[in-house]
Amino acid sequence: MKGQGACIVQNDHIVLLETAHPEFGRARELLGEFAELVKTPSAFHTYRISPLSLWNAAALGETPEGVIGKLRELSRWPVPGKVEEDVALWMGRYGQLALKSSMREEGQLELYVQTGNEEVLERLLQKLSLQKNGMEQLGIVRADEQTVYVKSASRGLLKQELTRLGYPVIDEVGYRAGAPLAFEFRPALPDGTPFGLRSYQQVCVDAFAGALGALADADRADSGGPAGSGVQVLPCGAGKTVIGLGAMQRLQCETLILTSSITSVRQWIQELTSKTTLSPEQVGEYSGEKKEVRPVTVSTYQILTHRTRKEEGFRHLSLLNGRDWGLIIYDEVHLLPAPVFRATADIQATRRLGLTATLVREDGCEQDVFSLIGPKQKEILWKDLEHQGWIAEAACCEIRVPLSDEYRRLYDQAGSRSQFRLASENPDKLQVVRQLVKRHQEQQILIIGQYVDQLAKLASELQIPLISGAASQEQRSVLYEAFRTGAIHVLAVSKVVNFAVDLPDAAVAIQISGSFGSRQEEAQRLGRILRPKTGGNRAYFYSIVSDRTKEEAFAGKRQLFLVEQGYHYTVVPAGSSGPDLLPESKEA
């Protein structure tokens, strides 16, 4: 069927997907298994096939033959030979090298070539000798043509360096069990609601810890067993915290949980004590306010990387190995800061679970998540959970507001960076917000923005409360509770609530400004309103953008991840009736 496929596969590993093609939906799903969405112009969506996208596919069981077969099926014309060769080459490198425990000497591991291709090892050793973290630093000693010995302490650093060289390592060394900690899930929540893992949550726990029920001690110790380390990718509102609890319950060991904010710390603690038999005395908060190190300890990335002077060390990083943890959970793993990456390289004997709504990192460090936390073990698609009713159906709408003549003159005369902020703070956005608040007056509404001055002015005009970084934790808690109970109908929030804020009753989000082209931020903001709703299970996400400005281009970049997940942004001019059945609208 050449000449009829939905895709055009280019020699540079770019795949163009025609949006008007009748097979667009199916092609998008298949491409999402092994390629990354780059941009979404109206006629063709652009995907890129990269080594990392292929390695994650390989970690989930995909084969080079399978990827090439799908490309041939989708492609309008023959797939370029170079693309097929590179797919086979890059995916073929996944798993050529493996690490295992060494019987030669305590404190050593063996790195060997599983394929028996000694040329691979020789070539990599030559490259490693030229690296900053070279042969001597890694403690590498040649054993034979297919095997070298390496210091156990270099386990993470070696995996990181070899991934950067294009040869991700299969880690067969195994993990220590950690100090035991026995607990179970409660059959019901404190309010009497029955509790249990949802089917997809159980699938994720099995993917991380093995599907054999409670693990025997032999499986939990140095054999590697069915358990391992890796990343679980699920939509906001899908219960990533519960998956973390499920992994803990399966492994029955002391656990350190790292997350993005003090609000999230306390949510984890609340979930731990309400859904499991762990007592409050067994769960500790390690933050700027408390320094409790207990069998289960919940902390933030910020406290681990806190230092008063640049030249001093990160004294709180010792928490990572300060107790016999059997599991470390990295919540919002896409936010992991560089110092925690470096420390994670030293604790590869501890099982590691990453949880996130998106593996997108704006700093380009996805490879470090892959090598140091682990490969993607399971990804649950947003639209799959929407169709099953586990998250709300979301209508996404981009409303384009023109600049006034006076404001346009200011914009045209400003510098490039100033233009973005001027467009973001377009004062005419306020009238659109008023109209949306009136339209959804029976629903709970979040107004989300990047700039506190803009939010403060809007909150004053609308006479609504504002949560920003200046608000204390106690003030935030009071407002969150009032919003949850419906005492507050509209709440303005700054970027401090991008992550892990439990607002289950929010049905509408109005984004008045964002962080340039941050895809992860867009996903997190939509996630604030995706918890299941009564009466139709529908949510509304509005992004208000200044027309014909830099903000318009950045908005398109922010939307990339969600478009890849199957969401559509209806684009309308200010004054239109909304995202439903708009004859003058177009899809982004």
pTM metric for this prediction: 0.84
219 pLDDT band, cuts 50/70/90, is: very low
Angle among Cα 521, 392, 19 to the nearest 5 degrees reads: 70
Give the pair of three-digit tokens for residue 266: 């306390």
Q: Per this entry, what is the length of the chain?
A: 588
22 backbone dihedrals φ, ψ, rounded to 5°: -60, -20
Who has greater pLDDT, 317 or 503? 317
DSSP 507-565: EEEEE---STT-HHHHHHHHHTT-S--SSS-EEEEEEEEETTSHHHHHHHHHTHHHHHT
**pLDDT tier at 5 (50, 70, 90 boundaries)?**
very high
Question: Which residues in 169-233 belong to E strands, given as ranges?
Answer: 169-171, 230-233
Instruction: Quote the CA–CA distance of 370 and 230 in Å, as a whole number.
Output: 8
**Is pLDDT at 521 greater than 90 in this prediction?**
no
Residue with more model confidence, 253 or 142: 253
Inform me whether the pLDDT recorded for 220 exceeds 50.
no
Q: What are the E-state strand segments in 102-162?
A: 108-113, 141-144, 147-151
Q: For residue 560, what pLDDT is reported?
A: 83
Instruction: Give tens-digit pLDDT for 176-206.
Output: 899 999 999 999 988 888 999 999 999 999 9
CA dihedral (379, 397, 444, 401) positive or negative: positive
SS3 157: helix
**Average pLDDT score over the chain:** 87
Q: How far apart are CA 324 and CA 296, in angstroms?
A: 11
Largest CA distance in the chain: 77
Cα dihedral 306→310→314→315 (10° resolution): -90
What the block records as the tokens of 94 is 């996944």
Q: Please tell me the predicted confidence (pLDDT) of residue 212.
A: 41
Residue 313 reports pLDDT greater than 90: no
Q: What pLDDT, on the 0 to 100 scale, is given for residue 584? A: 37
Give the pLDDT band of residue 454 (cuts 50, 70, 90): very high
What single letter denotes the amino acid at residue 117?
A: N
HSE-CB of 142 using CA atoms within 13 angstroms = 11
Q: Which residues pair with 400 in a beta bridge?
A: 545, 573
pLDDT at residue 217, rounded to an integer: 38
